[in-house]
Structure 1
Amino acid sequence: MRVPQQCVMCEINNGVYVPESTFMEYNINNESHSSDIVFLVEANECNTFSLENSIVSALEEQLYSQKFINSRYAVIAYGSQLPPFDYPRTISKDNVVFINSTNILRQYLKHSTAFSKSYDGSTSKSDMMHAISIASRLNFRTGVSNTFIIISCSRCDIKQMRFDYSSILQYMSDEGVSLHIITNSEFKVEKPRKIRHIYGFDKQFVYSNRSPEGSSELRHALHVSNSSFGILS
């Protein structure tokens, strides 16, 4: 017995319902300028500072400047020595994973590091790949961009990862996921005198004291290995 067609449908972000076996072509004109943003926070002591205020404030400013509206947020905590975040888990309230309020987002981020201290002082095993895999199963909206923001403080050790980067890269390429990584790491460049005090980089630019808005000319001097998640971000 087939399920009635009115019971099997997909709601698009603009409120339109697409029935089963019906196709709709998406283009830049009917795509919403919005995003489903997932924070993947390593539940470790290094992230127990007031990151929720500085990061959320900076994110709000950028979304506003880019005219993003109705964005949703979710938080996944991972990498703790203590339950429950010794396994990547979503933080939710009343079974609601995605939220619209940045005030609630701040509470979620603060809660993600509430169980960060280890009884024996041992180092946590931080599996970013596993956290990304869990994030990929969330219920994302159709027609909006998907953004993952990893806040990590442990060294990326591929040997501790459940999945290899190529399988995660394939998923992110297929689904159009943008990955951003916030971590405390040193950069190695070919000409250190030319680039000093680097804040970060992306596919096109390097951000530093000298070029806070980004420099495309300096990007070629920065080499990123596969093990540091450079391929994914």
Structure 2
Amino acid sequence: MKKVVQCLAAILIVVVVFLAGAFIRLGIRTNNILEDYSSIYVNTKYNRPVYIEGIDVITQKISCGYACIEMFSKWDGGDITEETLFNEYGKVVTSNGPKFAEEMNKRFPGYTTTIHRYLTNTELIEAAYETLSEGIPVPFEWAAKYGDDWTLHYSLLIGMDIQNDNITVANPYGYIEEISVEEFLERTSFEAYDNMPFYFKMAFAIDLFDKNTIFTVRKNN
């Protein structure tokens, strides 16, 4: 019995040390992405507003990941729906960023979707702006409110007007959001998520979820 207790204690110590290290690493990564981004307002590359037309905003019925794929499909002239995806798998397979990117690449072979995680604020703005400039909407992860509750959520970035401090998002909760750059970055970094439950914090710490994460989509040659 003593050996069992000692073994369990050792396992507990290893788990505690691992989690402590994971949270320290998360803090460092978070601090790194939250750099000053004021230079974007004087950078002439952002003088031209970019906006994607033809986005049919839907209200998700199954999952935000599937809903974003449906919106992207409709924009691209396809007929993929949340229902067809769920019926094929019998479950939701886009619960984290790599799986979402994998599904985008499977559903849209004419494009290559690449996940970018823990971008700095300026890197995120630049990558998103360049993709929008090519006429393609940008899927991304952020904190969003469903009623009074914060959630981890996928949406489509469809417009950026940096000079007028305006970001336009097609939110599959069923509406278009127009917000400031500051609010956009507070939510992509999840700094806006008040009172985040511990299990979500732990999920970020062990890399199940990521901050400042977008998906660039490029047409294949």
What is the TM-score normalised by the length of structure 2? 0.23
Larger helix share, 1 or 2: 2
What is the TM-score normalised by the length of structure 1? 0.23
